[in-house]
Amino acid sequence: MSSHTSYMGLRGHSLRVAQIATIVVPAFTFFGYNQSGLGPLATLQSFVSVFPQIDTINTEGGATSTTATRKGAVIASFQVGALLGSLSCLFIGDRLSRRKGIFIATILTIIGQVLQAASYNLIQFVIGRVVLGFGVGQISVVVPIWLADHVLGYALSNWLDLGFYFIRNSTLQWRLPLVVSISLSLLVAAAIFFLPESPRWLVGAGKVNEAMSNLAALRDLPENDQAIRTEIAQIESAIEGAASHKKASLMEMFAKDDRERLLYRFCLCFALQFFQQACGGTLISVYASTIFEENLGLGTVVAKVLAASALTWKFLCSFLSFFAIDRLGRRTVFMISGTGMALSMASLAVSSSFPSTNYGASITSAFFIFVFNVFYPFGFLGGNFLYCTEVAPARLRVAMNSVSTANHWLWNFAVTMVTPVALATIGYRYYIIYAVIAALIPIVVFFFYPETMNRNLELLNSVFEDASSPWEIVTMARKLPQGELVDGDRRDESAKKEFEEKEMA
């Protein structure tokens, strides 16, 4: 290949911008769009007339619980597919190239979206959601990016649902919104092969020359540049190091001599992903329109406008985490986020306990939904995923992250499945559950979660090994020297020596 290889005539910064614009942003926009898109559509008369089995609008009495259960199962079938799709990457992720993996996942999303939009019976619709979820689950693993982009998808889906609502007496009210996101899938599928393959995957596949060419294009440097050769050598070294630990397994955490406290670390990740889903974030994102219309008694148009506005507000507030996560620290943002969400959910429970005819109480409830959407993205939009990568030992980082992602989808499914039934049966009491769980976040984080921001990974690993009990881990981690330190750097040794001297003193 030429030493000046380009893609679509682009190199360096322009090429990286093109990757983000044509792959990352559309991929994660339709991720959020499809996850939340069905929630508001399920309140349309044109929708429930085609699928009366999940009609919670026109049912009363004992039938409400049954239809609400079916409704939750249908909406949550997307999460089942996503769970399976994310787990499938454990087995096929490294066998396929990154570009092929993204392309196949995108084709699956197109098939799923077509099956949904063309459905005239519930079985076809559910199959479409599972297939769509499977593709999105793969994309959520293969196309890593800061998760603010999928919040944009939540907001976009609600605004489009509002726009198509005015097509009266037609199934196009819900079919067209389900079709819209196909354009995003097509963009990703069309663009992916015009962009460079992952240099790391190419090195792992033995295609070093092609990897150098792609890396040179991404860095806008000649292939024979020393910086390119050095980086390729580092990638080769990292792959060789990973191969030497290929027998590493999460089963190590069940060993009698768990010196590194792997089980403890896994529980930190597991609990964090549980908190992300069980604090109310998915409830508000997926069922905002249902809450405003069916539970707060607001008019259909007003409910849809408020739902779209609330999720647009959430998207804007998500940028707060960019500035806070590396300034305040992981622990601080988690505790602030948990406290704010607990107060918001408690207030929502009180205000929504009044009859839906109390317009003032309904407006108060809407206000606290907006307040909740300030605090949720502050700590739990991406900080939880970041923390899980930092607290895991290097050799088990991929395994822990794979299980962590699957755990995310599992609890996402549980919340999506249960919510329609809970709202229809226990009403405002449902929010009390989220308030209690959110209130546990600052307490659990304060006592059990060590700070990982700017902590050397080797020294942090030593903290887990050397602490005499879990109660000492947070305190010992607080004493670690701070700085941008990485494994294998000479600075690690000096920092470790400094830390040990302080401990002896």
- Give the DSSP letter string of 296-329: S---HHHHHHHHHHHHHHHHHHTHHHHHHTTTT-
Q: How far apart are CA 98 and CA 60, in angstroms?
A: 50
Which residue, among 146, 213, 301, has the nearest Cα to 5 in the 3D structure?
A: 213
Q: Which CATH architecture has domain 257-453?
A: Up-down Bundle (1.20)
Q: How far apart are CA 37 and CA 62, in angstroms?
A: 28
Given this model, what pLDDT does residue 432 score? 94
This model's pTM is above 0.85 = no
Given this model, what pLDDT does residue 44 score? 79
Helices (H) and strands (E) in the chain, counts: 25, 0
60 to each of 44, 71, 159, 421, how far by Cα in Å?
17, 15, 29, 13
97 to each of 197, 348, 380, how far by Cα in Å?
7, 47, 31
Q: How far apart are CA 79 and CA 416, in angstroms?
A: 8
What residue segments make up the domains of the chain, in order of their start? Answer: 7-199, 257-453, 457-504
Asked whether the CA dihedral 472, 476, 478, 479 is positive or negative, the reply is positive
Which residue, among 112, 129, 139, has the nearest Cα to 77 in the 3D structure?
A: 129
Type of residue numbered 28 = F
Q: Do domains 7-199 and 257-453 have the same CATH topology?
A: yes
Ordered per-residue pLDDT tens for the chain, 505 residues? 445 776 666 776 677 777 666 766 677 677 667 776 676 677 778 888 888 888 777 776 666 777 888 888 888 888 888 888 877 776 665 666 667 778 888 899 899 989 988 888 889 999 999 999 898 887 776 665 333 334 666 667 777 777 777 787 778 877 888 887 787 788 888 877 777 777 777 777 778 888 888 778 877 777 777 877 877 787 777 666 655 555 556 666 666 676 778 888 888 888 888 898 888 888 887 777 778 877 777 777 888 888 888 888 888 888 887 788 878 888 899 999 999 999 999 999 999 888 877 878 888 888 999 999 999 988 887 777 778 777 877 667 666 766 777 777 788 888 888 888 888 788 889 999 999 999 999 999 999 898 887 766 667 777 787 777 778 887 877 776 665 444 433 344 444 444 444 444 4
Q: How far apart are CA 3 and CA 1, in angstroms?
A: 6
Q: Are 26 and 188 in contact (CB under 8 A)?
A: yes
Domain boundaries 7-199, corresponding CATH code:
1.20.1250.20
Q: Are 203 and 211 in contact (CB under 8 A)?
A: yes
Q: How far apart are CA 108 and CA 111, in angstroms?
A: 5
The residue written with tokens 């605090």 in the block is: 375
Q: What is the distance between the terminal CA atoms of the chain, rounded to a whole angstrom?
A: 59
Q: Are 28 and 147 in contact (CB under 8 A)?
A: yes
DSSP 410: H
Residue 135 CA, chain-centre distance (Å), reads 15
16 to each of 144, 215, 217, 225, how far by Cα in Å?
14, 11, 10, 19
